Copies of this chain bind each other. A is one copy, B any other.
Amino acid sequence: MKISIIKIGGNVIDFPDKLEEFLDQFSKFPGKKILVHGGGIMASRFGESLGVMPEMIDGRRITDKDTLDVVTMVYAGLINKNIVAKLQALRVNAIGMTGADGNVIRSIKRPVKGIDYGYVGDIEDVDTKLIKHLLSFDLIPVLSAITHDQQGQLLNTNADSIASALATNLAKEHEVNLYYCFNKSGVLLDEKNENSIIPLINEDIYEELKQENVIHSGMIPKLDNAFEALQKGVNHVWIGKAENLLLSTKGKLSGTIIERHRYDLY
């Protein structure tokens, strides 16, 4: 079975038009597929209305008990179920889930080392039995960024990590491709020029681009994660804009494909 895992975040979810356009493309995306979504600004907005102020350290949300309730409501409730309803309208038989449902993703509350992130989960175990059953019945899992510790506690968990953990687990038995939608057209040669997409990156090219300082700062952890997924058996990782997702299946230059080896080694 060939499986595509597609991750979207706030830069799609926060804009109704973009979300609609993305879901239309997702509905046409060929083959078995899984959607993973994060939260975006909606959780902060609802939290603020409830008097729960977002506290961020190093770009990460500190998840106290009230914030956990807010993200559970917004991610697993409002966003997840609206995505499911919209996909059902497009005749995609979606089923919304968290990592707690079917015990798909078990995490542990992040240990306190200097910073107490609160109810944030670091993924420990992935059990894709349910996911595989659902895919075999032509259901499309839609996962929100909530997991659990199997002791009754929900945990706020990074959506990129969920996509990657699912991908590497499923890659043990299946051909898995991972698609990260983000706010740029891909990895760019010139970060000010959205047309300067680097179409293909492998380990050798990555090393060169880092040495030449073309790839730096925030892009490095993203690509390190991508290569980690490839090392664990994922076939390729694509990063680009949500609106170009479908082009990538048509062999068109639509973003950056990350592969482990050079093409000429095949």
Check: A151 CB closer than 8 A to any chain B CB: yes
Check: A158 CB closer than 8 A to any chain B CB: no
- Whether the pair A78, B72 counts as a contact (CB closer than 8 A) is yes
Task: Determine which of B75, B96, B133 lies in contact with A137 in the assembled complex, contact meaning CB atoms within 8 Å.
Answer: B133
Chain A contact residue count (CB 8 A cutoff): 42
Check: A100 CB closer than 8 A to any chain B CB: yes
What would 18 more interface pairs be, CB under 8 Å, given A74-B77, A96-B101?
A46-B50, A69-B78, A72-B81, A73-B73, A73-B74, A76-B80, A76-B81, A77-B77, A81-B98, A81-B146, A81-B154, A85-B153, A88-B152, A89-B152, A95-B97, A95-B130, A96-B98, A130-B139
Number of copies: 2
Give the distance to chain B from A236, nearest Cβ to Cβ, in Å: 30
Most buried by B among A78, A81, A102, A150: A81
